[in-house]
Amino acid sequence: MTGSRPPKGREMLRCYWRVKIVPFTTPRNGYSLRPPPTNPLPPQAPSLMQIGIRDIFDSDHDMFRESCRKFFEDEVKPFHGEWEKAGEVPRELWLKAGEQGMLSMMVPEEYGGVGLDCRYPAIMWEEQSYAGTTGPGFAMHSDIVAPYITNYGTEEQKQRILPKLVSGEWIGALGMTEPAAGSDFANIKTVAVKDGDDYIINGSKVFITNGWLCDVVIVCAKTDTGKGAHGVSLFIIEDGMKGFVKGNKLNKMGMKAQDTSELFFEDLRVPASAMLGPENKGFYCVMNELPQERLLIADMGVASAEAVFEQTKNYTMERQAFGGSLANLQTVSHKLAEMKTDICVARAFVDQCIAQHADHKLDSATASMAKYWCTDLQSSVADRGVQLHGGWGYMWEYDVCKHFVDARVQSIYGGANEIMKELIGRSITNPRK
C-alpha cells in the first residue's frame, strides 16, 4: 500500500490458519511470507493419503484410520492375490474385521453397534481403496444392508440380525438388480404373491455383491404388479431357506476377489414377518438410502484416484529415461499436475458431502453429482496412471493395473452415471416445491 511501511524484522501477525497464531518472517525484499503450514490440507501435503490432513476428521478419526490402514496392509493385501483366484475372501476375514469394530459402525449400541456417524465408515471406504483391495464387500454389508434393517426393520428383525452383522458372523447383501432391470426399478420381475399369512417369491437377481457368501439378503419384489415402482416391497431372505438358490460366482473384468453372483427364488415361501418396512413402500425405502450408497461409491472413487496418483508420482520420479527421471519431462509433469488438481477438487467436494451427510443434510441430487463426477474421475485418473507407467501399467502385479479394471464398474453400479445426470437434471428443471 502507498505510504505504508513493510514489516521489519520478525513480527507476529494474526493468521486464521486452523485458528492459530502463526509467526510471519520478513525476507530481504521486505514482504512477509507465510511459512510452510505445520498442519497442511491435501493440496499442500507430501502425500494425498497422509493421515491428519483432512478438516472433516479429528484426532480420534486419525487413530482409527491408522488401525484401518494396518488392518488392510496386514490382513488383506498380502492374501488378496489368492482371493482373486478363488473369487471370494474367507469368512475369517469378516470375523477379524468384526472383532476390531470395523463393521456396521453406524448400528446403534442397543443392537451391538457403536452408533457412529458416517465419518468412521468413510475412513474404512478410503483405506480399502488406498490398499487396492476390493475383495471384501464391507461397504455393501455395513453401510448399505445394515442401514436398511436399522431404519425399517421391526424390533425383532433388528435384535436378531444386526448384532450378527456387527460381529461379522453374518454377511449381508442387497438383491435389487435383475437381468432385465438395472436402474429401472419399475421393471422388476421378481414377484411376491400373498398366500394366506405367507408370501411366495419367484424371480432372480444378478450382479449381487456378497451374493455367494451372504447369510442374509434384502430382496426387492413386486407385491402389486399393477403399480410399477410403487408396488415393490422389501423382504429379508436368509441362507438355507427352501427355494433360495445361489448361482455361480460371476467371472468379472475386475474386483476379482469380491464374490458376485446370481440369486434365484423358486417358490420361496416366507412369512409376512420377513417383510422389511411397509408393503408396497420398497421404492421409498430405497430412495431414502441411495444418497449414502452413492456417497460411498464417490468417496471410494476419489480414494482410488488418490492412490493411483501417488503410485504414478513415485514411479515417474524413480523411472529413468532420456537422461533424467520421467517426471522431469514437461509432458509428464503436466499430466501429474492435472491429475493432482482434478483429485484435490473432487476431494474437497466429497469431503463437503461427507460432512453434510454426517449432519443428515445430503440430498439425492448432490449425492448423484458426487457419484457421477468422482467415478468418471476415478476411471480417468486410472487411465492416465496406466499410461504413465508404460508397459508395466498393463501388468497385473502392478496395483495401477488393478485400479484401472476395478474402476470401470464404479460408473455402472449404484445407478449408472447416465441416470445420475438425469436425476441432477430433474432437480434443476423441476425442483420440488
Identify which of 391, 388, 356, 349 has the alpha carbon closest to the alpha carbon of residue 371. Answer: 349
Counting every residue, how long is the chain?
A: 433
Query: Between β-strands 216-222 and 172-175, what pairing exists: parallel, antiparallel or unpaired?
Result: parallel
Beta-bridge partner residues of 205: 263
Please give the torsion angle defined by the CA atoms of residues 141, 144, 147 and 149, in that order, rounded to the nearest 10 degrees: -70
DSSP state of 430: S
210 and 137 Cβ atoms separated by less than 8 Å: yes
Q: Which of the residues 293, 306, 397, 422 is marked catalytic?
A: 293
Nearby residues of 268 by Cβ (< 8 Å), 6 or more positions away: 200, 201, 202, 237, 241, 242, 243, 244
Q: Which amino acid is at 66?
A: E
Identify which of 200, 182, 202 has the alpha carbon closest to the alpha carbon of residue 190. Answer: 202
370 and 295 Cβ atoms separated by less than 8 Å: yes
d(CA 331, CA 335) in angstroms, rounded, equals 6
Three-state SS at 46 = coil
293 is catalytic: yes
- Residues serving a catalytic function are 293
